[in-house]
Amino acid sequence: NTVLGLFDWTRSFAEQVAGMVKSTVTGLWHGFVTYLPDLFTALVIIGIAYLVVRLLRLVFEGVERQRIKLRGFYPEWSRTSFHLLRLLVIALTLVVVFPYLPGSSSPAFQGVSIFLGVLLSLGSTTAVANVVAGIVITYTRAFRLGDYVCIADTEGRIIERTAFATRIRTPKNVDVSLPNSAVLSDKVINYSSQAMSSGIRLHTGVTIGYDVPWPRVQKLLLEAASATEHIESDPAPYVLQTALEDNYVAYELNATTKEVRLRPKIYSDLHANILDSFRIGGVEITSPHYRAVRDGNASTIPVHEEPPPPEDTVAQPALEESDEAELSEPTLTGEQDEQPAEADETARPEEQDDRS
């Protein structure tokens, strides 16, 4: 404007531009000064909301760490309850502060707010369902972090639970993420809820033919259970006869363990011990169809093979046996030769009698 004001033909234009800029800045300043009371009110409301959130955080952290105890309120509910109340406080704060925002009464601002609200509600249906499912799961106390569970055919340890998903680490060291809505709609098997107090019951079954007495089968199964590591002796394992089928009896071995995270290994060891126990006891575990069409073939009981002796101990006896065989051959041959001679001598008198 200073340069344009040096010339007569542009001086009026420069004065008009300077006046427009001055009026705009003056209007903004007056608007800011006028908005200061509303801004102060909005800041006070936001400050109060912040203090309320801080107070809620302190209370629920105390509940979570069990420094504060509320009757009927479990510590695992504290985190979710805090998030819900914080969200409620923030929503109420936005509703109260909204009229004090500059331009909040303009139709354009209201139209944009409505458009964003509709867009968010239509696009977040699945997300909202997962959030609601996560809240329901929390207050039903289906599981906690670190529990060993089975959800939707996925077995493992709970390592994380967020507002949208639950993560499980399987025994194969694989992390599986399940949406909270899927967790809520499926059954949850929690192996850790009673593990430390009374333990969980492991069970496995075998089918044995009617030719084997049931006390013998029970004895072999109980011996296999007692030989398995991490199987508790109290309560003692027991065996049930679960079915009397056409060709076999179904037995179920039940045993208790407190090591829920070792379930796959305990089952493997238990099955191995059952096989060893029945092999030593001389009882074969066969298919009922195979048992029904038995045609005299060999038994299916595995034969226990001893490891072969070292080579130096095998070679020497073999040579000695061959030497003994060679030494005994002449003697055997001599004995065989003497027997025909004696037979000839006994036969000669008979021939002489015939001639006479």
146 and 89 share one domain:
no
Q: Is residue 299 part of a domain?
A: no
Q: Are residues 109 and 26 in the same domain?
A: yes
Residue whose tokens read 């056409």: 246
Q: Do 174 and 260 belong to one domain?
A: no
What pTM did the predictor assign?
A: 0.59
Q: Which of 292, 324, 339 is the last residue of a domain?
A: 292
- Which CATH number does the domain housing residue 256 bear? 3.30.70.100
Q: Which of 260, 270, 264, 214 is nearest to 240 (CA)?
A: 214
Q: What is the pLDDT of residues 196-255, one digit of tens each?
A: 788 889 999 999 888 888 999 999 999 999 999 999 988 899 999 999 888 888 999 999
What does the pLDDT look like over 135-192, one tens digit per residue? 888 888 888 888 999 998 899 999 998 888 999 999 889 999 999 988 988 889 998 8
Which of the four pLDDT bands, split at 50, 70 and 90, describes residue 5? low
Task: Tell me which of 292, 307, 322 is where a domain ends.
Answer: 292
Within 8 A by CB and 6+ apart from 279, the residues are 301, 302, 304
By the 8 A CB rule, do 231 and 237 touch? yes
The number of domains in the chain is: 3
Distance CA 212, CA 216 (A): 7
Residue 310 lies in a domain: no
Per the structure, the complete domain to which residue 85 belongs is given by 4-123
Q: Are 271 and 204 in contact (CB under 8 A)?
A: yes
Does residue 326 lie in a domain region? no
Q: Is 265 a member of any domain? A: yes
**173 and 229 part of one domain:** no
Rounded distance, CA 170 to CA 68, Å?
35
Q: Say whether pLDDT at 47 is over 90.
A: yes
Let me know whether 161 and 204 are in one domain.
no
Backbone phi and psi for residue 308, each to the nearest 5 degrees, phi listed first: -65, 145
Strands (E), 246-337: 249-257
Half-sphere exposure at residue 123, Cβ-oriented, CA atoms within 13 angstroms: 6
118 and 10, same structural domain? yes
353 occurs within a structural domain: no
Element holding 244 (H helix, E strand): strand 238-244
Same domain, 9 and 93: yes
301 CB contacts (<8 Å, ≥6 apart)?
278, 279, 282, 283, 284
CATH code of the domain covering residue 167: 2.30.30.60
Secondary structure tally for the chain: helices H, strands E: 9, 8
